[in-house]
Amino acid sequence: MEINIQKQVLEKNETEADKNRAYFKENNVFVLNLMSSPGSGKTEILCRTLVRLMPEIKVGVIVGDICTNNDADRLKVTNARVTQINTDQFGGDCHLAAHLIDASARQLGCGDLDLLIVENIGNLVCPAEFDIGEDARAVVLSVTEGEDKPLKYPLMFQVSDVAVLNKIDLLPYLDFDAGLVKDNMKKVHPGMPIFEVSAKTQEGLEPWLEWLLERVNKKKQKN
Partner 1 sequence: MHEMGIAQQLVQIAMDSIPGDIENPRVEILNLRIGKLASVVEHSLTFCIEIITRDTPLENVRLVIDFVPVRIHCKSCQKEWEVDTPMFKCPDCREREGGGEVELISGREIEIISMELAE
Interface residues with partner 1 (CB under 8 A) are 1-10, 12-13, 91, 93-95, 97, 123, 125-126, 128-130, 150-151, 154-155, 158, 186-191
Q: What is the DSSP letter of 148?
A: T
The least CB distance from residue 95 to partner 1, in Å, is 6
Q: How many Å apart are CA 103 and CA 87, to the nearest integer? A: 13
Give whichever of 24 and 130 is closer to partner 1, judged by the CB atom. Answer: 130
Residue 83 has φ and ψ, to the nearest 5°, of -130, 145
Please tell me the distance from the alpha carbon of residue 39 to that of residue 32, in angstroms, as a whole number: 19
Q: Which is nearer to partner 1, 120 or 198 (CB)?
A: 120
Q: How far is the CB of 117 from partner 1 (least distance, A)?
A: 22
- Nearest CB to partner 1, comparing residues 119 and 131: 131
Nearer to partner 1, 94 or 213 (CB): 94
The answer to whether 125 and 153 have CB atoms below 8 angstroms apart is yes
CB of 182 to partner 1, least distance (A): 14
Contacts of 101 (CB under 8 A, 6+ apart): 20, 62, 118, 132, 133
Taking the complex as a whole, the smallest distance from the CB of residue 190 to partner 1 amounts, in Å, to: 5
- Radius of gyration from C-alpha coordinates of the chain: 17
